[in-house]
């Protein structure tokens, strides 16, 4: 059994009148055992962070009361496109895995998992409001700001 541990954080810039926001910097510090190919490992982590970012800011699922996905089609499903992306910073810690190949352990999913929490926490702190539903769109932040309450999005 292996455990890959890491932490992620983001720096955001928010317009408190419109709800528009920009993710300026995304950071991931992760212990992947032994890094065998640094460039490939960094690419894997940055790709995961970008995937988590896209999922958080625009890729929402709609559910019915039974928990079934009700999105009608993939045509209306928003995905990230080329454009201004944040600065990605990756830091590796190395604690070799005893039974892993060359001391390595998995690193693919960790960078995706932490991104929604990192973004929602940064926006919650910036707005002094609970931001805890994804996707986090400028419209949903604008509504939260206009309501002026501590209710969830």
Of 94, 109, 139, 147, the active-site residue reads 109
Q: Hey, CA dihedral for 105, 32, 6, 110, is it positive or negative? A: negative
**Backbone dihedral region of 85: left (phi > 0), alpha (psi from -120 to 50 degrees) or beta?**
beta
Residue 139 annotated as catalytic? no
CB 26 within 8 A of CB 10: yes
Task: List, in sequence order, every residue forming a beta bridge with 31; answer none if it has no partner.
Answer: 5, 93
- Helix axes of 38-57 and 115-127: crossing angle, nearest 10 degrees: 50
Q: Which residues does 51 contact at the CB level (< 8 Å), separation at least 6?
A: 112, 115
Catalytic residues: 109
């Amino acid at each position: 059994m292996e455990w890959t541990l890491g932490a992620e954080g983001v720096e955001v810039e928010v317009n408190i009148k419109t709800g528009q926001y920009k993710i300026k910097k995304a950071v991931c510090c992760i212990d992947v055992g032994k890094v065998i190919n640094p460039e490939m490992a960094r690419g894997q982590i940055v790709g995961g962070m970008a995937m988590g970012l896209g999922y958080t800011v625009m890729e929402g699922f709609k559910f019915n009361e039974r928990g079934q996905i009700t999105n009608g089609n993939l045509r209306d499903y928003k995905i990230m496109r080329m454009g201004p992306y944040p600065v990605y910073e990756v830091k590796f810690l190395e604690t070799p895995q005893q039974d892993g190949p060359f001391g390595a352990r998995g690193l693919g999913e960790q960078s995706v998992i932490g991104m929604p929490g990192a973004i929602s926490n940064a926006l919650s702190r910036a707005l002094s409001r609970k931001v805890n539903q994804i996707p986090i769109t400028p419209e949903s932040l604008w509504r939260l700001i206009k309501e002026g309450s501590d209710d969830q999005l």
